[in-house]
Structure 1
Amino acid sequence: MAGQDSAGQDSAVLRDALGVGVAVGLSGFAFGVTAAGSGLSVLQICALSLLVFTGASQFALVGAIAAGGNPLTAAAGAFFLGVRNAFYGLRLSQLLALPRALRPLAAHWVIDETTAVALAQPNRRAARLGFTVTGLTLYVLWNLTTFLGAAGAEAIGDTRAWGLNAASPAVFLALLAPMLRSTTERVTAGLAVVLGLGFLPVLPAGVPVLVAALAAPAVLWLKGRRIGDRERTKGEDR
């Protein structure tokens, strides 16, 4: 009976992991086309997907370059957007508890999608399975479709006419939205949107992403201050 339950659980994890991996992996085609439109070579584009492998940061980088932004500023914006993966890694390191030799390899797959699938699982075994299948499927498909998109960019034409440059942000938001459960998380996300859009017309390409990242410490500081005031009030009442 326990074996049947385990098999059923594995099937559910595989279904979810493959679904996420395939759906998001195919959007690498949009990145390849968009990056080619920004002036990068096929080799540069494929290297980005192989070595960076974090879709939102890759789109942020090529988007800033395409908008005429300074390459260093574009890289800084992409870097800080990718810093979130380090925080994912802190949580996943406890959940997955992988052998030390595998951690450097697994770290390359710590992204939004693998984190979301792993955290949704009921136990460590299922989390490891979900993380591995999602990561492998997504890495292979993302890099394959990146190459196809970059190589066939000339046949596609203007990416803005197809809306392909919006594919990765749309996927990112679809994964993020269900995770915004608390008021603090929703306020942080809302403030980040306001800051990013508010500074978009006045700051160089890539910089609004850095400004939007200030939403998290700002909200946490206000929350901490409110809790401190509440504790002081309680102490005075006593």
Structure 2
Amino acid sequence: MMLDATRQQALSVSLATGAYGLSFGALSVAAGLDVWQTCALSLLVFSGGSQFAFVGVIGAGGGPWAAAATSTFLGLRNGFYGVGLAPVMRPITGWRRAWAAQVTIDESTAVALAQPADHREARRTGFWWTGVGVFLAWNAITLLGALLGSRIGDPADWGLDAAAAAAFLALVWPRLAHRRAQAVAAGAAVLALALTPVAPPGVPVLAAAAIAILAGWGHPRLEEVPE
């Protein structure tokens, strides 16, 4: 019964998160990437916040190095998630270990650690079902968004020029329920706004990401995972 409930939760999260891939695909094409480059980002990077940051920097006129650095900083949080998940996933070796690393994201971590601490199988089920579910949905819907985005003309006519910020906010909003996260987010936002008039494109976002990482925003705590 518990495993069925866990799978149902994982599928719900997968579909809800995967839907943002439509916005990412369209925004990526609008920023100048082609369909295949957009799909490669989702397949290889597979981290919504990092991907939106990458195309946001490119779309604002930033260079590829600034975009890659910003994306990397935001992606470092997944390494912290791996530390928190290690006791749940052991023992794991070979290709399963590599696959687990690829699908260690916000959602798979949250669903896994939201299960009872004494029910290891439910935690592992939550991790795998959510990680793989989001991966499949995100990549499929990214492709759809990229194909649609290449055919709709000027993205500003459809409001897609603001979609990256809106989708990114929707992705991080559930993680701002605690005062520490709110304080870090506010500090990062103030720094980014202060740097925007004087810094090259991409640098404000990179600085904000650095603040979040240094403050340990991405470090998973059991009491901070939503039930």
Instruction: Map 1:15-34 onto structure 2 (within 5 A).
Output: 15-34=8-27
Deviates more, 1:188-197 or 1:108-117: 188-197
Decide whether aligned partners of structure 1 residues 197 and 116 sit closer, same or farther in structure 2, where only a CA change above 3 A counts: farther
Cα distance in 2 for partners of 1:197, 1:150 equals: 30
Q: In the alignment, what sits opposite 1:206?
A: 202
- Letter aligned with residue 164 of structure 2: N
Q: In the alignment, what sits opposite 1:87?
A: 80
- Letter aligned with residue 155 of structure 1: R
Identify which of 5, 16, 32 aligns with 1:12: 5
Cα distance in 1 for partners of 2:163, 2:142 equals: 12
Decide whether aligned partners of structure 1 residues 202 and 46 sit closer, same or farther in structure 2, where only a CA change above 3 A counts: same
Q: Tell me if structure 1 keeps the 8 A contact 2:50–2:74.
A: yes
User: How far did residue 104 of structure 1 move?
Assistant: 1.3
User: How far did residue 165 of structure 1 move?
Assistant: 2.0
Structure 1 unaligned segments of length 5 or more: list them.
1-6, 221-238
Decide whether aligned partners of structure 1 residues 124 and 75 sit closer, same or farther in structure 2, where only a CA change above 3 A counts: same
Q: Tell me if structure 2 keeps the 8 A contact 1:30–1:167.
A: no
Q: In the alignment, what sits opposite 1:121?
A: 115
Deviation string, structure 1 residues 62-116 (Cα, Å, up to 9, x no partner): 1101110011111111111111111111111123224122211100001111111
- Letter aligned with residue 36 of structure 2: L
Cα distance in 2 for partners of 1:98, 1:63 equals: 38
User: How far did residue 219 of structure 1 move?
Assistant: 5.6
Cα distance in 1 for partners of 2:213, 2:24 equals: 30
Q: In the alignment, what sits opposite 1:48?
A: 41
Cα distance in 1 for partners of 2:137, 2:57 equals: 25
Deviation string, structure 1 residues 2-34 (Cα, Å, up to 9, x no partner): xxxxx1x11221221111100011111111100
Q: Secondary structure at the match of 1:11?
A: helix
Report how many residues are paired.
210
Identify which of 52, 55, 64 aligns with 2:57: 64
Q: Tell me if structure 1 keeps the 8 A contact 2:60–2:202.
A: no
Q: In the alignment, what sits opposite 2:106?
A: 112
User: How far did residue 190 of structure 1 move?
Assistant: 2.4
Deviates more, 1:31-40 or 1:95-104: 95-104
Larger radius of gyration: 1
Cα distance in 2 for partners of 1:137, 1:19 equals: 9
User: How far did residue 117 of structure 1 move?
Assistant: 1.1
Decide whether aligned partners of structure 1 residues 159 and 126 sit closer, same or farther in structure 2, where only a CA change above 3 A counts: farther
Cα distance in 1 for partners of 2:211, 2:36 equals: 35
Decide whether aligned partners of structure 1 residues 146 and 98 sit closer, same or farther in structure 2, where only a CA change above 3 A counts: farther
Decide whether aligned partners of structure 1 residues 87 and 49 sit closer, same or farther in structure 2, where only a CA change above 3 A counts: same
Q: In the alignment, what sits opposite 1:189?
A: 185
Q: Tell me if structure 1 keeps the 8 A contact 2:18–2:134.
A: yes
User: How far did residue 133 of structure 1 move?
Assistant: 0.8
**Root-mean-square deviation (CA), in Å?**
2.0
User: How far did residue 192 of structure 1 move?
Assistant: 1.9
Q: Tell me if structure 2 keeps the 8 A contact 1:46–1:147.
A: yes
Cα distance in 1 for partners of 2:143, 2:20 equals: 12
Structure 2 unaligned segments of length 5 or more: list them.
217-227
